[in-house]
Amino acid sequence: MIRKAQVTDVKNIQKLLMTFANRGDMLPRSLSELYESIRDFYVVEEDGLLLGASALHIVWEDLAEVRSVAVMEDSGRKGIGSLLVQECIAEARAIGLRRIFCLTYKPDFFAKHGFCLVDKSELPHKVWGDCIKCAKFPDCDENAMILDL
């Protein structure tokens, strides 16, 4: 079942995200950040177990980021990640956004959802606010991708 995240999900979301952050696959998110942005998040839950999470973070009047897409490793390849990204895309359309982007190490996954590779320089500078927290900054090796809605 996919649903909007609740504050009671925050610790489980953080635990899931940290699995990937500890490997350098995504940015870590503090509990404080997650509580502040809980309205951005969707979760997939089955029998009370959080299987996946994603967020749609508004950046500007016409732009948002799909971020923190994570699925428990033993639940991979079941379409959970796709469901989460599709929900973010649907919300972006519903609230009138024109574009959404992602920074990812999985460009093939996002390409299946219509995202296209772009040069990072095409993204507004405001986008890079979180990058300062990354150990790889300023030598980012993620792929920038955009979906025009």
**What burial class does residue 110 get, using C-beta atoms within 10 Å of its C-beta: 0-12 exposed, 13-18 middle, 19+ buried?**
buried
Which pLDDT does position 124 carry in this prediction? 72
**What burial class does residue 73 get, using C-beta atoms within 10 Å of its C-beta: 0-12 exposed, 13-18 middle, 19+ buried?**
exposed
CATH of the domain at 35: 3.40.630.30
Those residues of the chain that have pLDDT short of 50 are none
Gap between the Cα atoms of 8 and 19, Å rounded: 19
Tally of structural domains, the chain: 1
Beta strands across the sheet bearing 49-60: 2-4, 41-46, 49-60, 63-71, 99-104, 143-148, 116-118
Which pLDDT does position 41 carry in this prediction? 98
Which pLDDT does position 115 carry in this prediction? 98
Which pLDDT does position 47 carry in this prediction? 93
Gap between the Cα atoms of 86 and 126, Å rounded: 24
Q: Domain containing 55: what range?
A: 2-148
> What values do phi and psi take at 43, rounded to 5?
-135, 155
- DSSP strands (E only) in the chain: 2-4, 41-46, 49-60, 63-71, 99-104, 116-118, 143-148
